[in-house]
A and B are shown apart, each in its own frame.
Chain A
C-alpha cells in the first residue's frame, strides 16, 4: 500500500522474535500489519489508548484486564516484540514428541504452563504470585451478571478459593491453580487458530 511495504525487513529484531515466539513468517507479518494499524499516531509503539480504541474490547468484561496484561510492569509503552510475545501465548500447541525438545531451552511461550501462567497473571492483580479472595472477587465481579448480589458473589469467591486452595493459606498459588484446572483442555481453550 503505497510506499509502505510489509516486508519482514521492516520488523525490528524479527529473528529474535521468531525464535522466542515461534510464529511463522506469515503470521508475524500479519501481526506487524495489525500493530501498525492499531498505532494510529505512528508512534512506533502502542499506548493503552490505542488498545482501548478497539471497540469490541470495551464491551468485554475482561477488556481492561487484557489490555493491562499487554503492558508489562507498569510501562506505558508497548512495542512490537511485547505485543507479539503476549499473543504468542495463544498459539495452538503443536503436537511434538516430548523427547525431541531441548530441555535446556526455555519452554515455548505457548506451552500449557505458560498459558496457565498468563491466565494466572490476569487474576493476580497485585502480582504477588497468589490469587487472594479479594482478587478472585474482583474478577468475578467483572464477569458475573448484574443480577447476582454482592453477597452471592462473595460466597462464590469464597468457594472458588476454597476449592482450589490446598495448603489452606486462603489464597491460590500458581500450582494450586494449575491443579484445579488439570482436567480442562487448556490447549484448546486458550488457543486461537489464526495464530498458528
Chain B
C-alpha cells in the first residue's frame, strides 16, 4: 500500500470512513424500518427500529477484501484506489463500534436505553479506533526494533514479521479494539524500517507469503459464505427485506458519496470529479465482515436473525458478483483515469524531491504551517530519532531515496544489457572486478550473481546476507558503462548536507553547516580537487587527511612502522600487532576505508567495485568532523561482501582484519601483477558458491606462501571461518578455492585469507618471523 498517497489523502479517507459509514448505517436502518412500517416487509420479521439499525450498521461496511480484489483488476488511478481502499480499512472501527453499541442496545431493550448510553457509544468509537491504532503502532515499533538486530539470524525475519503483525491483531481483538486498524497501522508504521533492515530475500519471502496467505484466506471466507448460503436451515427469505436492502445500500451510498465529495472538494487541492464519485459509490462492495457479524447475532435477542442472514448473503453475493464483474466495463465506459504504469525515472524522483523542498520553502515564506510544513517536520523527526533507533546502522547510513532509485535503475539496465547478450568484458574494455582474469562468459559473473538467489541450496545464514554484493558489482559495472569515462579519484567528502541527514549532532550544528555549505560551496569544490591530488600522491598522507578521528590508523601511518612497500604480510603483521592493542572499533572502519582508498588507487575496476560499496564508509571520513561511525557498521555498509568482515571484526574485536587489505593495497600499488590478482578477489563474493574464481587466490599464492610461515596454528583460536580462511592461506592453493566456498562470510577472498591471518596477534608474530619487520 502506498503510504505516501495514503497520508496525503488521509482527510478524505477518514471522512468517507467515519462519516460515510455512519450515514450509511443510519439511513439504511431507518429506511428499512420505514419499509417495514409501510408494510413491504412481512410481519414475520420481528424487528424494531433498533434491530434495523443494527442490521444497517453491519451491512453498510465496505469490505477491504472485496475492494482490493476487484480494484486490483481494474487499475483505476491511484488516488481513487487509495480513497476507496483506505475507507474500507478504516471503517472497520466504525462498524465494530456501531455493531457493538447497537447490539447492546438491542439486548438491553429499547426501553432501557438512556442518553448517556448514546454518549458512551460515541466515546467508545474514539476509544476503539484510536486504541486499535495505538496497539498497531506499538507493535510496529516493536517489529522495527527487533528487525534491527536480526543480522545474524536472517532466516527468522519473515517469521518475525508475520508473528508480530498477527500479535498486533490478536492483542487488539483481545482488548475489543479495532483489530483491522491495529494491523493496518502496524504495517504502515513499520514498513519503512523493516524494509531497510531485513534482507532482500526476507523481503521477497514476506511479500509472497503474505499474498499467498491472503489469497487462501479470501478463498476460504467466500467458500464459507457459499456453503452457508446453501444450508437453508440458517436463513429465512423475505423478499421485501432483501430487495429493499439492495436498493437502499446502493442508493444511500451514492447520496452519501456525493454529499461528502462536495464537502471535501472545498478543501482538496485536486477535486474529485463526478466520474470518480460514480466509481467510488459503485465500488462499495460488501463482503465477509458483514457476513461474520450477522452470523454472530444472538437469535434470542434478535428474532429476525435468519432473515438478516439471508439478506446479508444476497447482498454480499450481489455486490461481489454483479458489481465486481461489471465495474471493469463501467470504468472503461466512463473513461476513468487509469493508473499509468510508467517506468520510474530518475527525473521524476529527483523533481519530486525538489518540489517538496520548494513547497516547504514557499510555505515558510508565506508563513503558513501547512501540510508540507508538518510533513517536513515529521520527516525531520523521523530522520533524527526514529530512523536512528529503528533502522540498522548500515541501512540508515546508505539510505537515500534518490540514490536508491538510481541504483535500481542501474541494476535494471545492467540486467537488460547482459540479457541482450552484451559482453561486459569486451564492451567496457576494462578488467572488471567481476571477471576473473581467465576467460569466462560475461554472464557467468553478472547473471550468476543475479541468479544466485535462485541457488537455494545454500542455507548458510551469512550467505543470504551477501546478496547485495552482486548488485553492487552490477552497479560498478554499470557505473563504468554509464560514465563511460575515466575513473575519477574519489573525493572524500560530500559537498553539502541535505537537510535530512542529521547525525547525532544538534540541530544548530547542522543549520550552521547548511548555511556554511551554501556559502562555501565553491570553496569546497576547490578543495576537493586538492584532496584528489593528495590521494593520488601518497597513501600515508591520505590517511592523515582522511582521518578526522584520532584513530590508531593515523598512528600507524605516521608511526614510522615498517613502510608499506614491504610485502603485504609484513605490513599486515605490523599493523596487526599495532592494531591488536586497539579496541577502537572505529579504526577498523577507518582502515577499511583506507583499504578502499588503496584499492581505488590500485585499479580502476577494483576501486570502482569497492568504492561503490563503500559509499558511506568513505564519506564517514569526510571532513565533517563530527561523524564518528562505529566501525562494525562502517564495515557493514561498505561493500556487502565486506559485511562478512564486519562480522569478523565483531568476533575478533580487533579491527586488524580491516587493516590488512589496506596494506595489501599498498603492496599492490607496487606491482601490477599482484594488483591484477588482487583486483579480482574483491569481486568474488560469498554467494557465488557456484563460480568462484579460483585464480585470485592462486595468484596471491605465490606471494603468500613465500612470506607466510607455514603454521596455521593460531587460526584455530578463531571462529571457524577465520580459521579455515587462515588455514587456506597457509596451505596450498588447492585448498583455497575450497576454502572460498566454505567461507561465504568472507566474501572477499582476498580479505579472507588476509584477515584471519592478521586478525590474530598470534599470526602477527608468525608474520614477524618472516623477517621483514
- Which residues of A are in contact with B by a Cβ distance under 8 Å? 31, 34, 37-38, 51, 54, 56-64, 66, 70, 87, 90, 92, 95, 119, 122-123, 138-152, 154-156, 158-160, 162-164, 180-181, 183-185, 187-195
Query: Are B364 and A54 touching (Cβ within 8 A)?
Result: yes
Roughly how many angstroms separate A135 CA and B403 CA in the complex, as a whole number? 18
List 30 A-B residue pairs with CB atoms under 8 Å apart, sorted by A's residue number: A37-B367, A51-B365, A56-B361, A57-B365, A61-B496, A61-B498, A61-B514, A63-B514, A66-B362, A70-B365, A87-B362, A90-B362, A119-B354, A123-B354, A145-B403, A145-B494, A148-B615, A150-B528, A152-B615, A154-B488, A155-B479, A159-B346, A164-B347, A181-B347, A187-B270, A189-B352, A189-B355, A192-B368, A193-B371, A194-B363
Q: Check B353 for interface membership: any CB of A closer than 8 A.
A: yes
The reply to whether B364 and A60 contact each other, CB–CB distance below 8 Å, is yes
**Residue in contact with A155 in the complex, picked from B271, B361, B483, CB distance below 8 Å:** B483
Interface string of B356-379 (1 = CB under 8 A from A): 111111111111101111000000
- Known contacts: A34-B366, A143-B498. The answer to whether A61 contacts B357 by CB under 8 A is yes
Q: How distant is the Cα of A37 from the Cα of B364 in the complex, in angstroms?
A: 13
**Given A119-B351, A185-B270, A188-B269: A149 touches B615 (CB 8 Å cut-off):** yes
| Cross-chain contact of A183 among B340, B355, B496, B497 (Cβ < 8 A) | B340
The smallest C-beta distance from A192 to any residue of chain B, in angstroms, reads 6
* Interface Cβ pair total, 8 Å cutoff: 200
Chain A residue contacts of B358, Cβ below 8 A: 62, 66, 119, 122, 190
Q: Are A143 and B370 in contact (CB under 8 A)?
A: no
Q: Are A156 and B269 in contact (CB under 8 A)?
A: no
Min CB gap B522→A, angstroms:
10
Tell me if B500 counts as interface (CB < 8 A to partner A): yes
Q: Which residues of B contact A160 (CB under 8 A)?
A: 346-347, 350
Known A-B contacts: A56-B361, A119-B358. Give 12 more (CB < 8 A). Answer: A62-B358, A87-B365, A143-B498, A145-B400, A147-B397, A147-B501, A152-B612, A155-B479, A156-B346, A181-B348, A183-B342, A188-B270
With contacts A146-B497, A146-B498 taken as known, whether A59 is within 8 angstroms of B363 at the C-beta atoms is no
Interface status of B160 (Cβ within 8 A of chain A): no
- Chain B residues within an 8 Å CB radius of A62: 354, 357-358, 361
B511 at the interface (CB under 8 A from A): yes
B345 proximal to A (CB < 8 A):
yes
Chain A neighbourhood of B345, CB < 8 A: 163, 180
For the complex formed, measure the closest distance between the CB of B142 and the CB atoms of chain A, giving whole angstroms.
27
Q: Which residues of A are found within 8 Å of B515, using beta-carbon distances?
A: 58
Bound complex: CA A164 to CA B270 (Å): 27
Task: Give the distance in Å from the alpha carbon of A180 to the alpha carbon of B573 in the complex.
Answer: 56
Q: Which residues does chain B contribute within 8 Å of A141, judged by CB atoms? A: 494-496, 521
- From B342, B355, B398, B409, contact of A119 by CB (8 A): B355
CB neighbours of B398 from chain A (8 A): 147
Point out the residues of chain B lying under 8 angstroms from A31, CB to CB.
366
Residue of A at shortest CB range from B515? A58
How many angstroms from the CA of A133 to the CA of B403 in the assembled complex? 17
Interface string of B385-429 (1 = CB under 8 A from A): 000000000000111101100100100000000000000000000
Measured in the bound complex, the distance between the Cα atoms of B357 and A159 in whole Å is 22
A66 to chain B, nearest CB (A): 4
| Cα-based distance from A34 to B491 in the complex (angstroms) | 43
A residues near B482, Cβ cutoff 8 Å: 155, 158-159, 162
B346 touches A56 (CB 8 A): no
User: Is B311 interfacial (CB 8 A cutoff)?
Assistant: no
Q: Which residues of B contact A138 (CB under 8 A)?
A: 521
Verify if B616 is at the interface (C-beta below 8 Å from A): yes
Contacts of B498 in A (CB 8 A): 61, 142-146
- Residue among A92, A154, A187 making CB contact with B483, cutoff 8 Å: A154
How many chain B residues sit at the interface, stated as a range, is 35 or more
Complex alpha-carbon distance, A151 and B607, angstroms: 12
CA distance A159 to B479 in the complex (A): 10
Report the minimum CB–CB distance from B708 to chain A (whole Å): 35
Pairwise interchain contact A149-B361, C-beta atoms closer than 8 A: no
Q: How far is the CA of A194 from the CA of B367 in the complex (A)?
A: 10
Q: Nearest 8 A-B pairs (CB), nearest first? A: A145-B501, A56-B364, A66-B361, A62-B357, A145-B400, A146-B494, A180-B347, A147-B616
Binding site for A on B (CB under 8 A): 267, 269-271, 340, 342, 345-348, 350-368, 370-373, 397-400, 402-403, 406, 409, 479, 482-483, 488, 490-491, 494-501, 507, 510-511, 514-515, 518, 521, 528, 611-612, 615-616, 618-619, 622, 624
Q: Write the nearest CB–CB distance from B341 to chain A, whole angstroms.
A: 10
Q: Which residues does chain A contribute within 8 Å of B403, judged by CB atoms? A: 144-145, 148, 152, 156
Query: Within 8 Å CB of B373, what residues of A?
Result: 56
- Decide if A122 touches B351 in the complex (CB within 8 Å): no
B495 and A150 contact, CB distance less than 8 A: yes
State how many angstroms separate the Cβ of B627 from the closest Cβ of chain A.
8
| Distance in angstroms between the alpha carbons of A187 and B511 in the assembled complex | 31
B355 touches A190 (CB 8 A): yes
Q: Are A54 and B353 in contact (CB under 8 A)?
A: no
By a CB distance below 8 angstroms, the chain A residues around B510 are 59
In the complex, which residues of chain B have a beta carbon less than 8 angstroms from the beta carbon of A162?
A: 482
A61 neighbours in B (Cβ, 8 Å): 357, 496, 498-499, 514
Main secondary structure of the interface of A (DSSP, over half): helix
Neighbouring A residues of B399 by C-beta, 8 Å: 145, 147
Are the C-beta atoms of A192 and B366 separated by less than 8 Å? Answer: yes
Q: Kindly state the separation between the CA atoms of A70 and B366 in the bound complex, as whole angstroms.
A: 12
- Find chain A residues with CB under 8 A from B356 CB: 189
Of listed A64, A148, A191, residue having the most chain B CB within 10 A:
A148
- Chain A residues within an 8 Å CB radius of B612: 152
Find the residue from B267, B490, B495, B611 having the highest chain A CB count within 10 A: B495
- Asked if A191 and B269 make an inter-chain contact with CB atoms under 8 angstroms apart, the answer reads yes
Question: Which residue of chain B has the shortest Cβ distance to A185 in the bound complex?
Answer: B270
| CA gap between A154 and B365 in the complex, in Å | 31
Q: Give the distance in Å from the alpha carbon of A59 to the alpha carbon of B496 in the complex.
A: 12
Contact A156 B402 (CB under 8 A): yes
Which residues of the partner chain A approach B406 to less than 8 Å between Cβ atoms?
152, 155-156, 159
CB nearest to A62 among chain B residues? B357
Residues of A with C-beta under 8 A to B616 = 147
Contacts of A163 in B (CB 8 A): 345-347
Compute how far the CA of A87 lies from the CA of B365 in the bound complex, rounded to whole angstroms.
Answer: 9
Q: How far is the CA of A63 from the CA of B400 in the complex (A)?
A: 20
Q: Provide the bound-state CA to CA distance between A162 and B484, in Å.
A: 13
Q: Give the residues in chain A near B367, CB-CB below 8 Å.
A: 34, 37
Q: Whole-angstrom distance between the alpha carbons of A139 and B351 in the complex? A: 10
A60, A70, A180, A195 interface centre (most CB from chain B within 10 Å): A60
Residues of A within 8 A of B267 (CB): 193
Q: Which residue of B lies closest to A194 (CB)?
A: B368
B611 and A59 contacting across the interface, CB-CB below 8 Å: no
Q: Which chain A residue lies CB-closest to B618?
A: A149
CA distance A67 to B685 in the complex (A): 49
When the two chains form their complex, are residues A147 and B400 in contact, meaning their CB atoms are under 8 A apart?
Answer: yes
B618 touches A90 (CB 8 A): no
Tell whether, in the assembled complex, residue A59 and residue B499 are in contact, meaning their CB atoms are under 8 Å apart.
yes
Taking CB atoms, residues of chain A closer than 8 Å to B619 are: 146-149
CA distance A183 to B514 in the complex (A): 32
Shortest Cβ gap from B58 to chain A (Å)? 37
Question: What CA separation (Å) do A155 and B608 show in the bound complex?
Answer: 13
Q: Which of A37, A152, A164, A185 has the most CB of B within 10 A?
A: A152
Given contacts A139-B354, A192-B359, contact A148 B494 (CB under 8 A): yes
B516: shortest Cβ distance to chain A, in Å? 11
CA distance A51 to B287 in the complex (A): 55
Given contacts A160-B346, A192-B370, contact A143 B483 (CB under 8 A): no
Chain B residues within 8 Å of A95, by CB? 271
Tell me whether A87 and B351 are in contact (CB under 8 A).
no
User: Across the interface, which residues of A come within 8 angstroms of B368, CB to CB?
Assistant: 192, 194
Residues of B within 8 A of A64 (CB): 518
A158–B397 Cα distance when bound, in Å, is 23
With contacts A119-B351, A163-B347 taken as known, whether A193 is within 8 angstroms of B361 at the C-beta atoms is no
Is A184 within 8 A of B370, CB to CB?
A: no
Assuming the contacts A156-B346, A181-B348, A194-B370, asked whether A140 and B402 have C-beta atoms less than 8 A apart, the reply is: yes
